[in-house]
Structure 1
């Protein structure tokens, strides 16, 4: 994946309205960089270890398409209060798609036009005792 910069007349740098200098040339970002960043951001947002998240990133018309496979944290099934207060799985998945699109677009700097989220299982987060 690469970004080509417009070359100014005469090969010099040009000023953009924001005051930034544009240097002629191109920027190459390997797909594995997008994949690594997407894995880490997704794992953090979802609340699972990075190793549990599998990501594919591909070019898509107008931006990037992301496929994420991950387990979803759920409350302990013995904790009826937490279950009654939790959001249903499909609603939670839709919320995660929206949050991931916003976060990844901001981090990567490219439009994330499609997110396919596959829930591969459920995990129960470990409770930590406060001393």
Structure 2
């Protein structure tokens, strides 16, 4: 993916000209960083557990995310019963990522592929 050209924002501050000459270029690494941080936030895990690829596709962006999914402690039966099933949660993550990335980048998100690469369980804390 090359540098992305971003159009002018719909609302400008008071006193600014309606159209300013020039272009705005956003480097690929910036979009990748935005996608990685957003994915980690939406998934609810550390950003080190998230891998992201962003490419231009169909007039917008296509995003591939691979991450470990946080799950409840397997000894906590109540938390397991109340947890959302993995496939449903993955679809929720796809939708939330598409909406948030579209808002942050100003570009349409045409596709979000999400691969669950593992699971993370919260660390138990010892009580003294």
Q: TM-score, normalised by structure 1?
A: 0.82
- 1:1-131 map, 5 Å: 1-3=3-5, 18=11, 21-126=18-123
Number of residue pairs matched?
120
Rounded to whole Å, the distance in 2 between the matches of 1:17 and 1:107 is: 14
Query: Unpaired segments of 5 or more residues in structure 1?
Result: 7-15
Judge which range, 23-32 or 72-81, deviates more. 23-32
Name which one, 1 or 2, has greater alpha-carbon Rg. 1
Rounded to whole Å, the distance in 1 between the matches of 2:35 and 2:6 is: 23
Q: For CA contacts below 8 A with separation 6 or more, give which structure has more relative contact order.
A: 2
Query: Unpaired segments of 5 or more residues in structure 2?
Result: none
Q: After TM superposition, what 4+ stretches of structure 1 lie above 4 angstroms from structure 2?
A: 16-20
Q: What SS does structure 1 have at the residue aligned with 2:42?
A: helix
Q: TM-score, normalised by structure 2?
A: 0.84
